[in-house]
Amino acid sequence: MEFTDKEKKTIDDRFENLVSSCLQKYSDERIEDVRKAFDFANKAHYPIRRKSGEPYILHPISVAQICGVELNMGATSIIAALLHDVVEDTDYTVEDIERYFGLEVAKMVEGLTKISGVISVSNSLQYENFKKILISMTQDIRVILIKLADRLHNIRTLDSMPRHKQLKIASETLFIFAPIAHRLGLYAVKNELEDNAFKIKQPKEFHEIEQKLKDTESHRVLFINKFTLPIAARLTEKQYDFDVSGRSKSIYSIYQKMQRKSVTFEEIYDLFAIRIIFTPKKEDGSEKEQCFKIYSIVTDIYKPRPDRLRDWVTTPKENDYEALHSTVMGPNGNWVEVQIRTVRMDNIAEYGCAAHSNYKEEQKSGKYIDKWFSHIRETMDTEDPNGSELMDNLKSTLSTNEIIVFTPKGDTRSFPIGSTALDYAYDIHKEIGNMAISAKVNYKNYPLSYVLKNGDQIEIITSKKQTPQEKWLDFVQTPRARQYLRKNLNHQSTSLAKKGRELLHNHLKEMKLVVTPRILEKIRTYFDIDQGKDDLLTYIRVAQEDISFETLKKILRQNSKEKKILFWNIGNKESNVKKNAITTSAKNNYKLAECCRPLPGDPVQGFAIKPNSIEIHHLNCPEAIKLSSQYGDKIVQVDWFSDEQKAFLTGIKLTGIDRMGIISDMTQVLTKELNINIRSLNFYSHDGIFEGAIELYVRNFDDLQEIINKLKRTKGVDKVFRSA
């Protein structure tokens, strides 16, 4: 359909706004190059429209605007952003782009085209596709920056998409793009990506927090003014050129903290942070010295919390972030986070790697980016073809939360938070890892599963008799360690599988039988091995158990494990029926995920990854986010059906003040008042404080909430919250 005069005017106005907002610093020649790219893209996309009905060219203009204004990128990047969908969506080729705009722009557009081809609403992020994305990213950092801008605009404008496509894009965003933005120091982009994805996945929770922030805004503004007034007066007295402001945390980060700490919105004390940004005085020492002088001014007014000083001025984060963070006791007994940084530091905090001038017109990487890219290439070099593991490894590589540990000689090594002594061993050398038996941490002996802490000094104890153990995979974290470990385990597994195959064949030969899929299925059922696993694992288990002739006869006499059946509403359209109602007669085998244990009434998502089977996860489960990224085309919408008789296993955790009889009071509430079946109950008390964990059976989410509310009213109980 032809564009109206009004639409044509909108297109021209949007482009002129792009020119005026971020291109005034460039020469007339460069601005003319940008106009040439716009004219080319405008004609190439004409008269294509987006799903929303608006002219498609408005999307590349918006992406270019984000690149120029929000990411502080240069003219070459803006040109590539305007052209980023031309090769993907029209008859023009990369060669055409090179002929009109040169090799540099053509390579950027080609990289963006490869990424667009493998990250779309119709494709899943499988192993080979993901390698293409990583290769494109490591060849030119600007490619991934433009892709982030593209994703940011797309997630801002998803209203016209079907629900199942919205969920796929939101999960991809949380799993891949927000962590990349975080790793590159693009905190504003990361926060907006997360908030928009959260709004799509869990609109109810998003709007509840959004409304509570609005309701408390006036109170927050009054508090910020009261808190900052004496600081501003002292800084003015010291003749600093500064700006003091208060900024609320993102909605998604608030939600995460509520979940992580099992607290309500009202119980979070650090909903906002005070930011002091100043221009250093030339005669007043280094930036570091002046940051600490301002810190001293703040702590003269408000008492600091000693354990909450974060000095990223002396030792910047790996993505170059610099600032002093401190938590101080403000008026009315409230803890307040204060961030102190110079204008230069703030520029890096806002724009990340794009703040450096060499990203404006050149593709050179700094030391941090080069180091990160080397980690990514190392991840891609893994011999394991499992796409799921590649993405897990990348997730670790994307992590910005790192700790520093010391070798016995005092050298430092950095690791993602959660890394273990075994990760350290493999980081030193693969043979050290293979022969590791324990670790000395700060001169004390610990197992290899010990989780590293900031400042630990570590020595690995080895033995030539040691061999890699499969159980190590349960706690090893880094891609390097996992790759070395799996390589050695694969070698061991080949030998075990051979032994198991021979053992099974010999036993079956005595019975005058041969190996069949049916026999292997019975063995898998007996050992509780996933039926989707290959035969290799079955043979390994036969060897490990040294299965006897009599045991095999017993296994073959048993019936296959019965599978549960449940009715689900399956499809890609939104269901308008009430919760817990059957909406179709589609009958499928299902499995409730152990990682999140969804209950009737929870928002859930199904994955039809295996034939005739659906795996059900809580919508906010990290594993569901990962699966949505990998298997977007396998997502199915599911609704709970009404089954008053069925009970579901779930867990709760409790903390509080210990007293005589408190456990008896709680079990009385559960068994006598609520008639709840308890599976297990564990309590630990120390210095008058108790922590407890209870596994129990409930019918639905509402039942669980009633249990939590009742237990909260028990004398001495402080917190009660759900656990997986």
3-state SS class at 685:
strand
Tell me the torsion sign for CA atoms 45, 46, 48, 50.
positive
Residue 17 CA to residue 110 CA, distance in Å, equals 27
Q: Contact 580/641 with Cβ under 8 angstroms?
A: yes
Q: CB neighbours of 364 closer than 8 A, spacing ≥ 6?
A: 358
Q: For residue 543, give the nearest of 486, 503, 513 by alpha carbon.
A: 503
Cβ 425 vs Cβ 439: under 8 Å: yes
The secondary element (H helix, E strand) that includes residue 618 is strand 613-618
Structure tokens at 172: 């991809």
- Catalytic residue selected from 33, 85, 89, 370: 89
Q: Smallest Cα–Cα separation from 450: which of 415, 479, 483?
A: 415
Q: What is the C-alpha to C-alpha distance for residues 380 and 394, in angstroms, rounded to an integer?
A: 9
| Catalytic residue, candidates 5, 85, 88, 140 | 88
Q: Is-catalytic flag, 54?
A: no
What the block records as the tokens of 529 is: 């091995």
In the numeric block, which tokens belong to residue 525? 């059922």
Rounded Cα–Cα distance for residues 110 and 104 (Å):
10
85 is catalytic: no
- In angstroms, the Cα distances linking 302 to 138, 311, 335, 423, 546 are 46, 18, 10, 41, 68
CB atoms within 10 A of CB 99: 11
Tell me the three-class secondary structure of 478-512, residue by residue: CHHHHHHHHHHHHHHHHHHHHHHHHHHHHHHHHCC
Percent of the chain that is helix, strand, coil (3-state, to 5): 50, 15, 30
* One-letter amino acid of 579: K
Active site residues: 88-89
